[in-house]
Structure 1
Amino acid sequence: MFTWELCCTLLCVLWFYILWSRRRFYKLIFQIPGPLGYPLIGMAHKLLHKNDVLRQITYYKEKHGPCIFSWLGPMPFLIVSDPQVVQNVFNSPHCINKAIVYNSIKDAMGLGLFSESEPNWSVHRKLINPSFSYKMLVNFIPIFNTETANLVKMVDQFVDCGEKDWIPILYQFTLNTSYRTTIGTDVKANEYTNSKNLCEVVINILGTATDMCFSPWLLSKTVRQLLGRDKQYTKNKLVLTECVREFIETKIKNGRKTPPHSDDNYIFFNLVIDLMNRGILTKKEVEGHTSNMILSALETSVNIVAYTLILLAMFPEYQEKAFEEIRSLFPEAGDFEVTYADTQNMPYMDLILNESMRVLPPVPLVARQTMQDVLLSNGVLIPKGVQIAISIFHLHRDKKIWGEKAETFYPEHFLPQHMEDKHPYSYVPFTKGIRNCIGWRYALISTKVTLAKLLRNYTFTTSFKFEDLHFVEHITLKFEQMPQLAIQRRD
């Protein structure tokens, strides 16, 4: 017969079993400080709401330091913002796999470079690297110029109209640029993707994937159905899957149209289709890699451009310095061609971009898990099975590294004399090491072309104050309230 005594006994047995099963992790409690949390759930209740995650990490970092050990339910995890430990993790062959929280990304995107695990990830990364080589990036410059010229025309509708939300056109611009450089076609010319409003579909998928990161029970289709969260998510995933499959089928049907030694063969989509035709990748793997490229690139690229412009609007003195540099390269307003050499001759733009991604990192948190025991350079042994969250947001705002202006926008942080004593892993907007972002050079060059044309032709202002920004942990960094911009035309 079931009694309260029996219930308590079973709970005690369960608790002691959990303690026993965790025994190899307990040494970390004495080596790395942190909150133990509650039985069974650990600190999970503190990290369930994306509006509170960065705030909670700030609290525990101030209390325990840049390395924090705790439990996320039954899982041991570290939160790291110490540059030396970050270097240890990013360069360890045993920390390549993404953490368990990324299961939601696998559900949303399928398996690709963003979500794949070892040993497949290393093999596939080497296969796809040629699509992001220096030669390919230089070949993309004309596309960057053409699409940014189209963006400038769209921005014109917001001139002298007061503060407006112009982010939607930035999404469409970024999506079309990405399609032309990775798929090799124009999304605007594709009736299928236009009819399905692919940009909105991608944003909705990423939003649900974020919710699943912080509410793991949403990974269950049944739970999503009960909560009314599944219908739209499933529909959007189907739209993306059908879009990708249609691209694959069209490419297979049309066959090779480029000469054997053409650079176009190394455009991402052409490359993976060729690998599939040669039996190196499966059709499902091509679908996953393509979905990963579409989903992972969109918000990151949008945020780098949007947040840089927002910061320059909040700090107009730096916007004017950037404008003077750009005007020295391009004396005439309007449309002009930005060459690769031009992108390498913008030293003040480099300061601004670096500082923008420091204070507002595109991805505030990344997470890995140990595949084997990992010995840190400080002598601490991290056992197999530990989840490690690298807080790029807090690393980039650490006053011990960046000084008293660590939490504000100050491009001079990246002057050579200020960087020479910094740890090389104090600044990791695209991560570093073995599993760094494959598209980081692509992002920087495309962003420079975009900002050069926008800042040469327009002035951006806002009434929103930097100190009023409140952050939301998302797959990418988000604000509780997005600042709007007013745009005036320059001569």
Structure 2
Amino acid sequence: MFTQCLIVVVVILLVLVRWKPNKFVKLHEKLGNDFMYFPIIGNAFSFAGNNEDRMTTLIKATLQCYKREHNAISLWLGPMFIVILSSTDLAYVVLKSALNKNFIHKFAKDLTGNGTVFASAHIWHRRRKILVPSFAPRYVKQFIAVFEAQNKTLVENFKSHVGKGNFACWDAVYSYALDSVCETMFGMNVDLQRQPDHPFFKAFDEFVRNGVSRIFQPWYYSDSFYKLMPVFRRQEQMKKIIHAFLDDIICTKKKQIEEKGGNESETKNPRNTKLNFKTFLELMIENSKDDAYTLEELREETIVQLVAASDTTAAWICTTLLLFCKHTDVQERVYREIIDVIGDSNNPLTSKDLLKLKYTRAVINESLRLYPPVPFINRYCTEDLELPSGITLPKGTNAVINIWGIQHNPLYWGEDANVFNPDRFMSKQIPKAFIPFSYGIRNCIGRQYGMLSLTTVLVSLLRQYRFTPATGFTFDENNPLRLSFDLISKHIDRYPIQIEYRKLRDINEVAK
């Protein structure tokens, strides 16, 4: 049976490769790439290996883009024609005009279904209208209290690593991000920070990693063939754990809302305190009342928010901590700003306080520029799309917007583009080539949420700790971080740092 399926897949690929549309062939002759090409699989061999190898290859693709006239290259993954764009002008046109995410949606759908981030355009339109009001500033800023409460657990978890040498901080920060998302989503503290071996935590992480690997392996593009593989059975096991965990929470929360007549402020969370904000789940239910979400749709949107908010926020926080270790002068300047603007009191943080931290925000932006958590995004052209450089992307093209390449491109950032320099963002105007949250009407709606989460974390951690480089671990512009492409970019060694306590005399010196 397996042999027969393999033969069928090979035959299909041979037919598709043999009959490549001439419009793709012509554009490929104009753009091309420097990777090895093989019959049937195209350039896929260059993306073989683990997820770190794939990230390395994608960065090599970026360097190839810089050398070409259009700041773009084209390649074949089996029968799939892909154009990688590393120019701001080209990216803006594609992001404004092409709203579908074809092949990424195919593989993401295994977990997220028709969740907003990866959904086809016609589904995305309806759900985006429901989600946008949920991310209004008046709601998001109320989550600062949740972030602060979860920060206390994170600060406590870091305490056991003070003065103990190298500490890989990814798991601690990732569980913080998941806890924060779950509480803002459901109003329930699932307390993953105190349960590092929670089945959901492990299943979620593994499912995402395995899902990304499929993107670069054309022999897994056929669902019939993929379902015969052990990895598919493993993915199904992980999906059952994820769905069971979320369905239980969603049903429990819906029941609470119904029992309280929709008055969320009367519901208590596990800390035995009344919630003074509307959760994302409640807002989704409320905003979809004219076209009510089903349980499946609520689960899909919940999973998307977990993927979009937890992984990206955690990578963002961890990367910034690593940069603090490398650039201790920047770390101390941020700390001084926090003390100067907010002080060292235990008074609750406010959005007004956080907005005053201008240099801290510049540091966060520069961290995002150098190491964007989502370095590449995909768009599918449903019609011919003419670009400013003079090339036309034919209908059926998979365009990859190279956020990594645009944000490292010397054309926009100068010859020191690979250097960490937060002062780039001290002016009021954000550079056009800064697009970590994408661009256009299908951009990321969680920007403010992520900024508030990260800023409150930095305030809480820097008030208590100083971060120093891990022993034996160095990186700079000529020796960048080793990253793995797991849907988002993550450090291969899970972000090693060392932690010290801040002394009272530090605060007194700043006060002088």
TM-score by length of 2: 0.84
Q: Which residue of 2 aligns with 1:135?
A: 138
Three-state SS of the structure 1 residue aligned to 2:496 is coil
Q: Which residue of 2 aligns with 1:403?
A: 414
C-alpha displacement of 1:101: 3.4
Three-state SS of the structure 1 residue aligned to 2:164 is coil
CA contact (8 A) 1:110 1:291 kept: no
C-alpha displacement of 1:178: 0.8
C-alpha displacement of 1:223: 5.5
- Structure 1 pair 189–391 and aligned structure 2 pair: CA distance change class (3 A): closer
C-alpha displacement of 1:98: 1.3
1:186 equivalenced with 2:189 (yes/no): yes
* Aligned-partner Cα distance in 2 for 1:190–1:345: 30
* Aligned-partner Cα distance in 1 for 2:42–2:244: 41
Q: Which residue of 2 aligns with 1:290?
A: 302
Q: Which residue of 2 aligns with 1:7?
A: none
Superposed, 1:232-311 pairs within 5 Å as 232-254=234-256, 255=258, 257=260, 267-274=279-286, 279-311=291-323
Shifted more, 64-73 versus 174-183: the winner is 64-73
Shifted more, 180-189 versus 103-112: the winner is 180-189
Partner amino acid, structure 2, of 1:448: T
1:346 equivalenced with 2:353 (yes/no): no
* Aligned-partner Cα distance in 1 for 2:17–2:262: 61
Q: Which residue of 2 aligns with 1:82?
A: 87
Question: 1:239-295: per-residue Cα shift (whole Å, max 9, x none)?
Answer: 111122222322343415265697978532113334666543233222211121122
- Structure 1 pair 32–179 and aligned structure 2 pair: CA distance change class (3 A): same
- Structure 1 pair 83–256 and aligned structure 2 pair: CA distance change class (3 A): farther
Three-state SS of the structure 2 residue aligned to 1:432 is coil
CA contact (8 A) 2:172 2:193 kept: no
Partner amino acid, structure 1, of 2:42: G
Q: Which residue of 2 aligns with 1:124?
A: 127
* Aligned-partner Cα distance in 1 for 2:329–2:276: 42
- Structure 1 pair 253–472 and aligned structure 2 pair: CA distance change class (3 A): closer
* Aligned-partner Cα distance in 1 for 2:483–2:193: 36
Give structure 1 stretches of 5+ with no counterpart.
Answer: 1-10
* Aligned-partner Cα distance in 1 for 2:172–2:314: 10
- Structure 1 pair 29–315 and aligned structure 2 pair: CA distance change class (3 A): same
Superposed, 1:390-469 pairs within 5 Å as 390-416=401-427, 422=431, 424=432, 426-463=433-470, 464-467=473-476, 468=479, 469=481
Partner amino acid, structure 2, of 1:172: S
* Aligned-partner Cα distance in 2 for 1:228–1:24: 37
Partner amino acid, structure 1, of 2:62: T
Superposed, 1:142-157 pairs within 5 Å as 142-157=145-160
* Aligned-partner Cα distance in 2 for 1:337–1:266: 19
Q: Which residue of 2 aligns with 1:197?
A: 199
Question: 1:10-46: per-residue Cα shift (whole Å, max 9, x none)?
Answer: x9xx67x856551133442465454594443332222
Q: Which residue of 2 aligns with 1:3?
A: none
Partner amino acid, structure 2, of 1:345: K
Question: 1:140-176: per-residue Cα shift (whole Å, max 9, x none)?
Answer: 1211121112221222111111121232221221111
- Structure 1 pair 34–162 and aligned structure 2 pair: CA distance change class (3 A): closer
The one of 207, 211, 232 aligned to 2:209? 207
Q: Which residue of 2 aligns with 1:4?
A: none
Three-state SS of the structure 2 residue aligned to 1:158 is coil
1:56 equivalenced with 2:60 (yes/no): yes
Partner amino acid, structure 2, of 1:296: A
TM-score by length of 1: 0.87
- Structure 1 pair 252–415 and aligned structure 2 pair: CA distance change class (3 A): closer
Partner amino acid, structure 1, of 2:230: G
Three-state SS of the structure 2 residue aligned to 1:433 is coil
C-alpha displacement of 1:348: 0.6
* Aligned-partner Cα distance in 2 for 1:170–1:480: 15
Partner amino acid, structure 2, of 1:136: Y
CA contact (8 A) 1:33 1:64 kept: no
CA contact (8 A) 1:106 1:115 kept: yes
C-alpha displacement of 1:190: 13
CA contact (8 A) 1:365 1:393 kept: yes
Three-state SS of the structure 2 residue aligned to 1:88 is helix
Q: Which residue of 2 aligns with 1:42?
A: 42
* Aligned-partner Cα distance in 2 for 1:227–1:352: 44
Partner amino acid, structure 1, of 2:58: L
- Structure 1 pair 77–349 and aligned structure 2 pair: CA distance change class (3 A): same
Shifted more, 101-110 versus 451-460: the winner is 101-110
Q: Which residue of 2 aligns with 1:375?
A: 386
* Aligned-partner Cα distance in 2 for 1:41–1:128: 39
How many equivalent residue pairs?
Answer: 472
* Aligned-partner Cα distance in 2 for 1:223–1:478: 29
The one of 78, 98, 101 aligned to 2:101? 98
Identity of aligned residues (%): 27
Three-state SS of the structure 2 residue aligned to 1:353 is helix
CA contact (8 A) 2:408 2:418 kept: yes
C-alpha displacement of 1:489: 1.0
Three-state SS of the structure 2 residue aligned to 1:435 is coil
The one of 465, 480, 485 aligned to 2:492? 480
CA contact (8 A) 1:276 1:283 kept: no
